[in-house]
């Protein structure tokens, strides 16, 4: 561990809180000292939730360490059950309480509650928030999904069910919904879509992965659910977001699972595949191309025709990315950092759908480093795998991109460096939980993503044009738009970086430098001064400026 002023992820018990807070009828008893109750603010202040986080803390203090902290935990468990009457309970310890080794799971079992109690063992000093969320969801699914009672019968040998007793597809569907995966290597046949008048049910799926405090999870679920229903599917359960323990008990009834956020849901989806024979999707529908591939993958799993959906994409990204000033957008250098799902998807959209040049790609999730490295290699760059925001800042400063896409921290870094930026991944602040519906998944999400990636650059172009015409009488620093005449003058623009004390810039060269876009002006100044030092030039002229540009452009 290291002491830092900022971190991309909290300890794993914060991940458990994200799952508990997302669900209904689940309560989390957290063995923790008084100082660890800060996590409530993440949900009430940043996500602006309208109800209290479903967490009870034991809040032991230093003086309690000489007594029996185990009794405080048992009392907290009993009181939480009597007060909140949950359908299921999570019990665990925070990173601080882990050191006193009170065994929350054993103590909860000794209390003997009449509801399922899931004991969480989350190693706080080796794992972090997203792993904690994934482990918590997996433990809940494993505990509750098999709570139907009788063990399902084993499936028939491969090849049976082709004749008599109903259709082969119907039997295959029943096997996938009610039994472990078949012991043969032959994949299950795709579902046959229902025909009008036959009364056969629609194919069903679960949507797995969305949690509280996730980046646009609420809106992504609404977009993808609508897409699945237009395709002809019935959504069985969405989990963890909005699900109850009773919902998790019927999660095995679906034909397959849609995994929207692999960081959270992949472990549970793999278990459901082993236990119930449910396949799961591998394409994350972020961007137009990925959404098309997602629709085709889902249609293949469900035995449906994707053509009507693909013919009615309802997205403007492809045309807008061609119709906007391609000379201005094409080749823009972009740095991307975030969780693995959003970083990889954003890099794909930036490179293949908008024509940007990705010069940096990274993630703070070491568990998904392999996937990020593979994408970076495909783009011809080296991935940055780190959870130290200072390393990320150093990489951004060295690469001097024209656009930074990242988390809340990269927003701060980019603003400090004067680079246009946008947030595309958690962790985020309050402004990235908008009141409006603003998904990043699906076809509508592609529209939102276009705005997110392009608008900072368009604002940069506007500021660049203002800077170019600053000496015009209508664009002087003290001038105001005509409709604001008579009001106080606008604030002066931010000061340029201080020039090298040993090098003199002629007035004409300074004037020419101001014509360079503000977000790369600092780099142009540094490169020119470096060129002047290398060539022994004491006074920089306009000619020197362009000689330096030619030198560094080779």
Alpha carbon distance 261, 258 (integer Å): 9
In Å, how far from its chain's centre is CA 295? 20
Which of these, 145, 96, 97, lies nearest to 118 by C-alpha position? 145
Nearest to 23 by CA among 54, 56, 57: 54
Place of tokens 């020119």: 528
36 is in an annotated binding site: yes
**DSSP label at residue 368:** G
> At CA 347, angle to CA 342 and CA 348, rounded to 5?
100
| Calpha distance 151→447 (Å, rounded) | 47
Tell which residue, 51, 117, 46, 102, has the closest CA to residue 72. Answer: 102
CB 546, CB 532: distance < 8 Å: no
Q: How far apart are CA 217 and CA 158, in angstroms?
A: 40
Kind plus residue range of the DSSP H or E element containing 69: helix 69-84
DSSP for 176-239, please give it: HHHSPPPSSSSPPPPPPPPPTTT-PPPPEEEEE---TT-TTHHHHHHHHHHHHHHHT-EEEEEE
Cα 485 to Cα 477: distance, rounded to the nearest angstrom: 14
Q: How many secondary structure helices (H) and strands (E) does the chain include?
A: 21, 14
* 42 known ligand binder: no
* Phi/psi at 312 (5° precision): -130, 65
* Cβ-Cβ contacts under 8 Å for 197 (sequence gap 6 or more): none
Residues with Cβ within 8 Å of residue 488, at least 6 apart in sequence = none
The secondary structure of 243-263 as a DSSP string is --HHHHHTGGGSSEEEES-HH
Residues 193/233, Cβ–Cβ less than 8 Å: no
Q: Give the pair of three-digit tokens for residue 392.
A: 């990320």
132 annotated as ligand-binding: no
Distance CA(88)–CA(352), nearest Å, equals 45
How far is 477 from 475, CA to CA, in rounded Å? 6
Catalytic pick from 305, 325, 472, 477? 325
Q: What six digits make up the tokens of 550?
A: 């030619």
Quick check: is 325 catalytic? yes
Distance CA 196, CA 90 (A): 45
Contacts of 127 (CB under 8 A, 6+ apart): 12, 135
Alpha carbons 110 and 94: distance in angstroms, whole number: 20
Binding-site residue ranges for [4Fe-4S] cluster: 36
Catalytic residue numbers read: 325
Binding-site residue ranges: 36, 460-461
Binding-site residue ranges for substrate: 460-461
């Amino acid at each position: 561990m290291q002491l830092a002023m900022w971190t991309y992820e909290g300890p794993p018990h914060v991940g458990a809180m994200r799952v508990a807070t997302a669900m209904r009828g689940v309560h989390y008893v957290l063995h923790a000292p008084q100082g660890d109750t800060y996590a409530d603010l993440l949900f009430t202040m940043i996500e602006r939730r309208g109800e209290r986080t479903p967490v009870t803390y034991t809040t032991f203090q230093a003086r309690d360490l000489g007594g029996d902290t185990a009794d405080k935990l048992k009392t907290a468990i009993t009181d939480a059950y009597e007060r909140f009457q949950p359908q299921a309970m999570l019990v665990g310890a925070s990173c601080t309480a882990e050191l006193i080794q009170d065994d929350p799971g054993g103590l909860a079992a000794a209390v003997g509650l009449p509801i399922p109690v899931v004991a969480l063992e989350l190693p706080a000093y080796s794992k972090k928030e997203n792993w904690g969320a994934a482990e918590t969801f997996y433990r809940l699914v494993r505990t509750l999904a098999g709570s139907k009672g009788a063990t399902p019968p084993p499936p028939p040998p491969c090849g049976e069910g082709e004749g008599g007793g109903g259709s082969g597809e119907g039997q295959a569907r029943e096997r996938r919904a009610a039994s472990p995966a078949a012991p043969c290597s032959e994949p299950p046949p795709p579902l046959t879509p229902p025909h009008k008048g036959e009364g056969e049910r629609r194919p069903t799926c679960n949507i797995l992965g969305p949690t509280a405090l996730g980046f646009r999870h609420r809106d992504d679920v609404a977009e993808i659910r609508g897409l699945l229903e237009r395709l002809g599917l019935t959504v069985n359960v969405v989990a963890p977001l909005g699900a109850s323990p009773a919902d998790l008990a019927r999660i095995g009834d679906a034909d397959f699972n849609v995994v929207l956020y692999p960081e959270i849901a992949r472990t549970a989806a793999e278990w459901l595949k082993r236990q119930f024979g449910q396949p799961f999707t591998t394409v994350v529908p972020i961007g137009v191309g990925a959404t098309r591939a997602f629709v085709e993958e889902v249609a293949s799993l469900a035995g449906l025709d994707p053509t009507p959906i693909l013919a009615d994409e309802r997205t403007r990204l492809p045309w807008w990315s061609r119709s906007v000033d391609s000379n201005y957008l094409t080749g823009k250098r972009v740095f991307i950092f975030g969780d693995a799902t959003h970083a990889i998807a954003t890099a794909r959209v930036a490179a293949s759908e908008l024509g940007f040049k990705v010069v940096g790609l990274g993630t703070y999730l070491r568990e998904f480093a392999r996937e990020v490295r593979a994408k970076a290699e495909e783009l011809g760059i080296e991935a940055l795998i780190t959870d130290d925001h200072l390393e990320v800042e150093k990489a951004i400063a060295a690469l001097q991109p024209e656009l930074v896409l990242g988390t809340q921290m990269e927003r701060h870094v980019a603003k400090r460096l004067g680079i246009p930026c946008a947030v595309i991944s958690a962790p985020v602040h309050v402004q990235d939980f908008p009141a409006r519906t603003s998904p990043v998944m699906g076809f509508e999400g592609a529209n939102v993503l276009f705005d997110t990636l392009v608008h900072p650059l368009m604002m940069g172009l506007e500021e660049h044009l203002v800077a170019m015409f600053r000496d015009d009488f209508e664009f002087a620093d003290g001038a105001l738009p005509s409709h604001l005449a008579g009001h106080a003058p606008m604030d002066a623009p931010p000061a340029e970086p201080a020039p090298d004390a040993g090098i003199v810039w002629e007035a004409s060269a300074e004037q020419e430098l101001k014509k360079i876009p503000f977000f790369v002006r600092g780099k142009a100044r540094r490169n020119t001064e470096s060129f002047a030092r290398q060539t022994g030039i004491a006074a920089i002229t306009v000619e020197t400026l362009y000689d330096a540009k030619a030198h560094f452009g080779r």
